[in-house]
């Protein structure tokens, strides 16, 4: 019986052994086809050219894919011992596979019927990092094991450890021990203390949950465990462990990724990637010199933050996580260079770039394009009389449209310049009805507005979404007296040797004659000097400037777009979820109260110490003082007068003599024409 | 069921078991299994594909560098082709709407002053140039074509145009713009020998002409002197019908350089050509106090 039993056991042993051998050989031949080739030198894996992004002043803004590989001699033994104790205590004894650790992991995984532990050695982890996906499955695990055998057979333990230390991820964007030491302790990897080494060694296993910035207690518990392992492995004594635990960690403040330049940088990278391809940007070793002016960007950021905080103090909304957001772009008029791009108030909280997003309505800040179309196509001029009154516009197939003024007050007869200064909705509605939405769209395109624009009358009140970038560029065309400069972000690109690959050249196109644009420019100066944007002057901004406010229904969006001779800047303010911005006194935030102060703060700082440059008056322009309510030349009967810039050929008539009774209109209707003072043919 | 083999040859089982024990021992102390596979894989490493993250990065780096190279060579070739342009007219002719040309200040001024005639000064007055120069620090020139216009932008070191000059494309059709240079003797470029005259005949006649006609038939003498070109002969020919778009006749001014003989071709109107020919061809007449003799061509070609 016993003999029979032994025979059976021996037989089973044979069969199992043979089966094992066959399964082993079979799976090897099956998997070996997909096994990757190893490089001949592990140091090569860190050799890739990093692309650098520079500001207009030559400051390095970002380096893509930069690694800081260091030789093993330049890594503190405190860290090396800690990582070995934490990840692979028998590192110097095995040849790629730790039998005990594997058995332990196998047992745990079979018991739980899922992959919980890897039991991976440092060599296996390196193998995974270099060649394989992070997906957990058996096939990947076997391949990883085979490659780790080859790594052990090919390279020394020192080389493997060095490659591992330079490859692994330590959280907070730090790859490799040198970058990790800088990120957490602002010191070199060779200077790490025992405690610091233990804290860092605890990170590769779970870079987020044991991150000392995010969870200090858990991180310290993990470090304590690692120190205990170090004692067990005889790397340190118990006394040294206690000493380490009582020593200061010297953790620095977390480097918050709230750099406002990131919006600009990411936008530039996306543009480059779409033009040249991803690998060109990330592996090309380029030097990208951008137009961003970090000093101005900082001014913009500070202006926005300080004003938004003031506004939020007055808001009724109590949810602290819902912040008022901002989008801002500032363009240098002469060249079209984008000097400032603020996509939001805090990059680390929200990476959505509101400066280029066209999902918000510009409101009244779109009106200048309507006015210009009316002046260009239908002979209006800044002194033309229009009637501000409640209107109802019949639209076939739909409800009639009843555009109302912001204050629901109507001024009656008024000149066009004053209408724009007061941002009267009824006038814009009348003008677009007269010139047609199609022609307004055509004009807007000439100003560089590229977003889809609705072919409907409400376009006059800015009901099609545009971005601050587009608005700044469009207003820049006004400041440039009709020259549209394509906004650009990159001055030049060089390869890593400094050879030029690309350079930007000015591409200005005269889309409107200076004579056509100047009257509009002058009207927009009126907006800032004594119109809806007068807060800019009240805040002490003295440079000659023009602009326009914009506020959408229910105070969901506030805009202020304006220009000086040097810069055109667009500011949008609003909630991301489109909720109305209403303060505690139930007063809504307008373009003048929410966006214009940011504009004024920023422009004042940006132009500090600079000469106040007047806009050049082009040839063929004259100035007349006119009566605001009759559009005739100002005289002693005028209640309110205003200087307007007109094309030279425009004739402004003096006030007509009081007509005799016989001359009076028998119908008794107003003699005001919407087309008085049109240019002579 | 009987397992006769095992029953009969028990020692086979023992050997197998022993072998297993030895293998286990070697694995435990010498990691024979890992070493074996590792070395086998190392041995056939080169035959395996370059897969995985490391190689992907490597490939992308190679791809990126290839692209960088191609972008750079395109950039360089554009610059080289701009710098290789030899005449001001060719500069305009090579400017395509989609490919603006950029050239250095020196190259632009060289082309400007190298044009054999007044055409360059008609496009941009030298006084305008000197005025730009006195006001701005321009380092390069950008030439763009847009519709019926060329834009010459004078760029500062930041590529900002400090001054712009607009030139109508029609300027390329002016008679003066069509002056060209060809290598070879007058005969080689198509002039009949009986219409070839000695420079000694032509130059004294040129001095007697009014400045306007002088400019129409001859460049500023500096053009020859600065380049060390010696004028040898002058030829006149009537243009073929197909070429008579701007002028009817063409003057050829032959000159010798240290290395070759060249001809400057100057289209002229029929009126000017007839006027000059009538004066030259007053046979046997000693026009300017010297014997009019040489219709025969002097020796041409490379100087020793």
What pLDDT score was predicted for residue A319?
A: 63
Comparing A675 with A249, the larger pLDDT belongs to: A249
Rounded to the nearest 10 degrees, what angle do helices A122-131 and A77-87 cross at?
Answer: 90
Instruction: Tell me if B61 and A504 make a contact (CB, 8 A cut-off).
Output: no
The percentage of chain A sitting over the pLDDT mark of 70, rounded to a whole number, equals 94
What pLDDT score was predicted for residue A593?
A: 94
B13 in a structural domain: no
Nearest to A496 by CA among A44, A51, A45: A51
**Could you tell me how far CA B125 lies from the centroid of its own chain?**
26
Instruction: Tell me if A7 and B55 make a contact (CB, 8 A cut-off).
Output: no
Residue B100 has pLDDT above 90, yes or no: no
The CA-atom distances, in angstroms, between B297 and each of A572, B78, B197, B237, B279 are 81, 43, 8, 16, 19
Nearest to A219 by CA among A198, A192, A240, A188: A198
Domain extent at residue B201: 179-280
Show which of B54, B77, B100 is a domain's final residue. Answer: B77
B96 in a structural domain: yes
Q: Verify that A205 and A340 share a domain, yes or no.
A: no
Which region among A221-230, A241-250, B161-170 has the lowest average model confidence (pLDDT)?
B161-170
Query: What span, in angstroms and rounded, lies between the C-alpha atoms of B167 and A166?
Result: 60
Q: Verify that B191 and B145 share a domain, yes or no.
A: no
- With vertex at residue B93, the alpha carbon angle to CA B91 and CA B96, rounded to the nearest 5 degrees, is 100
What pLDDT score was predicted for residue A224?
A: 95
Tell me which range, A169-183, A393-407, A475-489, B207-221, is most confidently predicted by mean pLDDT. A475-489
Which helix (H) or strand (E) segment holds residue B182: the answer is strand B180-183
A163 in a structural domain: yes
* Residue B174, token pair as written in the block: 């002016």
Place of tokens 């044991």: A210
What pLDDT score was predicted for residue B62?
A: 87
Instruction: Tell me if B34 and A97 make a contact (CB, 8 A cut-off).
Output: yes
Rg (CA), chain B: 39
CA within 13 Å, CB half, A264: 34
* Closest residue in chain A to residue B101, using alpha carbons only: A505
Query: What span, in angstroms and rounded, lies between the C-alpha atoms of B290 and B281?
Result: 14
Nearest to A209 by CA among A200, A198, A218, A201: A218
A302 touches B: beta carbon within 8 Å: no
Residue B12 has pLDDT above 80, yes or no: no
> Which of A282, A500, A505 lies closest to B75 in CB terms?
A500
Region B140-154 average pLDDT: 88
Please report, for chain A, how many H helices and E strands are present, in that order.
Answer: 21, 16
Chain segment A569-593, per-residue pLDDT in tens? 999 999 999 999 988 888 899 999 9
A288 within 8 A of A264, measured Cβ to Cβ: no
Region A69-82 average pLDDT: 95
A612 in a structural domain: no
A275 in a structural domain: no
Query: What span, in angstroms and rounded, lies between the C-alpha atoms of A135 and A118?
Result: 12
The b-or-e profile of A593-614 (16+ CB within 10 A means b, else e) is bbbbbbbbbbbbebbeeeeeee
B105 in a structural domain: yes
A505 within 8 A of A336, measured Cβ to Cβ: no
Query: What span, in angstroms and rounded, lies between the C-alpha atoms of A25 and A48?
Result: 37
Instruction: Tell me if A276 and B67 make a contact (CB, 8 A cut-off).
Output: yes
* Residue A310, token pair as written in the block: 């003031």
Q: Verify that B199 and B168 share a domain, yes or no.
A: no
Show which of B60, B77, B94 is a domain's final residue. Answer: B77
Residue A385 has pLDDT above 90, yes or no: yes
Show which of B128, B153, B173 is a domain's final residue. Answer: B173
* Closest residue in chain B to residue A13, using alpha carbons only: B17
Q: For an interface test with B, which of A15, A283, A497 has the most B Cβ atoms less than 10 Å from its Cβ?
A: A283
Nearest to A430 by CA among A408, A461, A407: A461
Comparing A259 with A13, the larger pLDDT belongs to: A259
Which alpha helices (DSSP H) does A287-436 contain, by range? 294-314, 367-377, 416-421, 425-435
Query: What span, in angstroms and rounded, lies between the C-alpha atoms of B252 and B300?
Result: 15
A614 in a structural domain: no
Nearest to B266 by CA among B251, B280, B278: B251
Region B123-131 average pLDDT: 88
The string of DSSP codes covering A75-120 is S-HHHHHHHHHHH-TTTTT-SS--HHHHHHHHHHHHHHTS------
What pLDDT score was predicted for residue A108?
A: 79
Residue B77 has pLDDT above 70, yes or no: yes
* Closest residue in chain A to residue B162, using alpha carbons only: A334
Q: Verify that B57 and B34 share a domain, yes or no.
A: yes
Domain extent at residue A131: 67-246
What pLDDT score was predicted for residue B82?
A: 85
Confidence of residue B175 (pLDDT cuts 50, 70, 90): low
With a CB cutoff of 8 Å and minimum separation 6, the contacts of A600 are: A535, A536, A539, A540, A541
Residue A185 has pLDDT above 60, yes or no: yes
Show which of A224, A246, A268 is a domain's final residue. Answer: A246
Query: What span, in angstroms and rounded, lies between the C-alpha atoms of B21 and B182?
Result: 95
Comparing A46 with A278, the larger pLDDT belongs to: A278
Number of folded domains that form chain A:
2
A183 within 8 A of A255, measured Cβ to Cβ: yes
Region A213-235 average pLDDT: 93
What pLDDT score was predicted for residue A660?
A: 44
Chain A environment of B46 (Cβ under 8 Å): 37
Q: Can you give the CATH number for the domain in which A431 is found?
A: 3.40.710.10
Which region among A80-94, A112-126, B112-126 has the lowest average model confidence (pLDDT)?
A112-126
B260 in a structural domain: yes
Chain segment A390-422, per-residue pLDDT in tens? 999 888 888 888 898 888 889 899 999 999 999
Residue A679 has pLDDT above 60, yes or no: no
Q: Verify that B228 and B264 share a domain, yes or no.
A: yes
Instruction: Tell me if A149 and B158 make a contact (CB, 8 A cut-off).
Output: no
Average pLDDT, whole number, for chain A? Answer: 89
Q: Quote the longest CA-to-CA distance of chain B.
A: 140
Chain segment B266-290, per-residue pLDDT in tens? 888 777 777 777 777 664 434 433 4
A134 within 8 A of A144, measured Cβ to Cβ: no
A311 within 8 A of A351, measured Cβ to Cβ: no
Chain segment A620-648, per-residue pLDDT in tens? 999 999 999 999 999 999 999 999 999 99
What pLDDT score was predicted for residue A640?
A: 94
Confidence of residue B9 (pLDDT cuts 50, 70, 90): low
Chain A environment of B55 (Cβ under 8 Å): 36-37, 131
Residue A180 has pLDDT above 90, yes or no: yes
Which helix (H) or strand (E) segment holds residue B231: the answer is strand B230-238
A527 within 8 A of A546, measured Cβ to Cβ: yes
Name the A residues in 333-352 with CB < 8 Å from any B CB. 334-335
A626 in a structural domain: no
Region B150-160 average pLDDT: 87
SS (H, E, C) B112-159: HHHCCCCHHHHHCCHHHHHHHHHHCCCCEEEEEEECCEEEEEEECCCC
Residue A300 has pLDDT above 90, yes or no: yes
Q: DSSP character for A503?
A: E
Show which of A586, A606, A626 is a domain's final residue. Answer: A606
Comparing A90 with A341, the larger pLDDT belongs to: A341
Instruction: Tell me if A505 and B51 make a contact (CB, 8 A cut-off).
Output: no
Name the A residues in 464-493 with CB < 8 Å from any B CB. 491
Instruction: Tell me if B39 and A506 make a contact (CB, 8 A cut-off).
Output: no
3-state SS assignment for residue B18: helix
Q: Verify that B95 and B164 share a domain, yes or no.
A: yes
* Residue A630, token pair as written in the block: 């009759």
Taking the CA atoms of B230, B236, B241 and B247 in sequence, report the sign of the dihedral they define.
positive
Instruction: Tell me if A48 and B57 make a contact (CB, 8 A cut-off).
Output: yes
Number of folded domains that form chain B:
3
- With vertex at residue B288, the alpha carbon angle to CA B286 and CA B291, rounded to the nearest 5 degrees, is 40
The percentage of chain A sitting over the pLDDT mark of 90, rounded to a whole number, equals 67
What pLDDT score was predicted for residue A321?
A: 65
Q: Can you give the CATH number for the domain in which A237 is found?
A: 1.10.3810.10
Query: What span, in angstroms and rounded, lies between the C-alpha atoms of B103 and B107?
Result: 6
What pLDDT score was predicted for residue A560?
A: 97
With a CB cutoff of 8 Å and minimum separation 6, the contacts of A204 are: A83, A87, A125, A168, A169, A170
Q: What is the pTM of this model?
A: 0.78
**Could you tell me how far CA A438 lies from the centroid of its own chain?**
32
Instruction: Tell me if B54 and A131 make a contact (CB, 8 A cut-off).
Output: yes
B293 in a structural domain: no
B292 in a structural domain: no
Comparing A45 with A432, the larger pLDDT belongs to: A432
B243 in a structural domain: yes
Show which of A606, A639, A658 is a domain's final residue. Answer: A606
A170 within 8 A of A180, measured Cβ to Cβ: yes
A212 within 8 A of A184, measured Cβ to Cβ: yes
Residue B241 has pLDDT above 70, yes or no: no
What pLDDT score was predicted for residue A240?
A: 94
Q: Verify that B255 and B220 share a domain, yes or no.
A: yes
* Residue A580, token pair as written in the block: 């109305």
Residue A555 has pLDDT above 50, yes or no: yes
Q: DSSP character for B218?
A: -
A185 within 8 A of A251, measured Cβ to Cβ: yes
B259 in a structural domain: yes
């Amino acid at each position: 019986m016993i003999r029979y039993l032994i025979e059976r056991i021996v037989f089973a042993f044979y069969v199992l052994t043979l089966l094992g051998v066959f399964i082993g050989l079979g799976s090897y031949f099956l998997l070996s086809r997909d096994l990757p080739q190893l490089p001949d030198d592990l140091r090569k894996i860190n050799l890739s050219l990093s692309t650098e992004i520079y500001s207009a002043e030559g400051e390095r803004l970002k380096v893509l894919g930069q690694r800081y590989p260091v030789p093993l001699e330049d890594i503190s033994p405190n860290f090396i011992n800690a990582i070995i104790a934490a990840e692979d205590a028998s590192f110097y004894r095995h040849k790629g596979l730790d039998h005990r650790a594997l058995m332990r992991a196998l047992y745990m995984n079979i018991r739980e019927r899922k992959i919980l532990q890897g039991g991976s050695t440092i060599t296996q982890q390196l193998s995974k990092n270099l060649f394989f996906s992070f997906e957990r499955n058996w096939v990947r695990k076997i391949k990883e094991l085979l490659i780790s055998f080859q790594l052990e057979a090919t390279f020394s333990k020192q080389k493997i450890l060095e490659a591992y230390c330079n490859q692994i991820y330590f959280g907070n964007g730090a790859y490799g021990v040198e970058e990790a030491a800088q990120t957490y302790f602002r010191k070199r990897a060779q200077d790490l203390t025992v405690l610091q080494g233990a804290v860092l060694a605890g990170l590769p296993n779970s870079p987020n949950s044991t991150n000392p910035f995010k969870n200090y207690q858990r991180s310290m518990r993990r470090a304590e465990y690692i120190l205990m392992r170090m004692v067990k492995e005889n790397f340190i004594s118990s006394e040294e462990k206690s000493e380490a635990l009582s020593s200061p960690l010297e953790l620095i403040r977390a480097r918050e990724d709230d750099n406002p330049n990131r919006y600009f940088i990411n936008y530039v990278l996306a543009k480059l990637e779409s033009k040249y391809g991803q690998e060109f940007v990330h592996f090309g070793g380029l030097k990208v010199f951008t137009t961003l002016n970090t000093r101005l960007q900082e001014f913009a950021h500070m202006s926005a933050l300080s004003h938004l905080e003031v506004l939020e103090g007055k808001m009724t909304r109590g949810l602290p996580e819902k912040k008022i957001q901002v989008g801002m772009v500032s363009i240098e008029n002469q060249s079209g260079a984008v000097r400032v791009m603020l996509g939001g108030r805090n990059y680390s909280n929200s990476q959505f770039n509101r400066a280029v997003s066209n999902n918000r309505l510009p409101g009244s800040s779109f009106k200048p394009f309507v006015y210009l179309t009316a002046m260009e196509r239908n002979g209006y001029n800044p002194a033309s009389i229009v009637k501000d009154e409640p209107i109802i516009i019949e639209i076939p197939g739909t409800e009639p449209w009843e555009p109302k003024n912001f204050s629901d007050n109507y001024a009656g007869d008024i000149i066009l310049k004053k209408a724009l200064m007061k941002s009267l909705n009824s006038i814009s509605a009348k003008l677009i009805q007269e010139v047609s939405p199609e022609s307004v769209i055509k004009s807007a395109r000439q100003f560089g507005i590229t977003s889809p624009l609705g072919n409907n009358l409400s376009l006059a009140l800015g009901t099609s979404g545009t971005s601050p970038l587009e608005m700044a560029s469009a207003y820049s065309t006004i400041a440039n007296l009709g020259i549209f400069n394509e906004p650009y972000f990159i001055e030049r690109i060089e390869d890593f040797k400094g050879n030029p690959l690309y350079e930007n050249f000015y591409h200005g196109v005269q889309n409107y004659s200076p004579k056509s644009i100047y009257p509009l420019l002058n009207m927009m100066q009126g907006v800032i000097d004594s119109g809806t944007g007068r807060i800019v002057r009240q805040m002490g901004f003295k440079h000659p400037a023009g602009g326009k406010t914009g506020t959408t229904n229910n105070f969901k969006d506030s805009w202020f777009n304006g220009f000086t001779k040097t810069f055109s800047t667009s500011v949008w303010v609003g909630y991301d979820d489109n909720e109305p911005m209403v303060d505690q006194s139930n007063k809504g935030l307008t373009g003048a109260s929410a966006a214009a102060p940011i504009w004024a703060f920023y422009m004042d700082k940006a132009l500090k110490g600079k000469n106040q440059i007047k806009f050049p008056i082009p040839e063929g322009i004259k100035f007349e003082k006119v009566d605001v309510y009759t559009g005739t030349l100002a005289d002693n009967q005028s209640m309110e007068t205003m200087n307007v810039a007109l094309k030279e050929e425009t004739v402004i008539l003096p006030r007509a003599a009081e007509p005799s009774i016989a001359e009076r209109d028998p119908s008794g209707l107003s003699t005001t024409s919407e087309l008085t003072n049109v240019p002579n043919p | 069921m009987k397992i006769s083999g095992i029953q009969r040859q028990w020692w086979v089982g023992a050997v197998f078991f022993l072998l297993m024990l030895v293998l286990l021992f070697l694995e435990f102390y010498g990691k024979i299994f890992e070493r074996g596979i590792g070395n086998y894989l190392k041995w056939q490493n080169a035959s395996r594909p370059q897969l995985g993250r490391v190689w992907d990065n490597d490939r992308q780096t190679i791809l990126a560098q290839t692209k960088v190279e191609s972008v750079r060579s395109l950039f360089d070739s554009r610059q080289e082709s701009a710098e290789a342009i030899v005449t001001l007219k060719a500069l305009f002719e090579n400017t395509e709407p989609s490919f603006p040309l950029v050239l250095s200040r020196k190259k632009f001024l060289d082309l400007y002053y190298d044009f054999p005639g007044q055409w360059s000064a008609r496009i941009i007055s030298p006084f305008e140039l000197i005025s730009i120069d006195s006001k701005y620090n321009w380092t390069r020139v950008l030439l763009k074509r847009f519709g019926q216009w060329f834009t010459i932008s004078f760029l500062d070191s930041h590529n900002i145009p400090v001054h712009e000059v607009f030139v109508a494309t029609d300027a390329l059709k002016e008679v003066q713009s069509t002056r060209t240079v060809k290598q070879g003797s007058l005969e080689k470029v198509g002039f009949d020998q009986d219409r070839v005259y000695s420079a000694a005949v032509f130059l004294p006649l040129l001095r007697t002409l009014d400045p306007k006609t002088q400019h129409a038939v001859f460049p500023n003498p500096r053009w020859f002197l600065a380049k060390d070109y010696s004028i040898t002969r002058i030829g006149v020919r009537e243009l073929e019908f197909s070429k008579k778009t701007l002028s009817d006749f063409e003057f050829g001014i032959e000159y010798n350089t240290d290395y070759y003989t060249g001809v400057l071709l100057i289209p002229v109107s029929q009126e000017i050509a007839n006027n000059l020919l009538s004066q030259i061809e007053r046979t046997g007449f000693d026009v300017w106090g010297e014997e009019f003799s040489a219709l025969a061509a002097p020796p041409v070609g490379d100087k020793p």
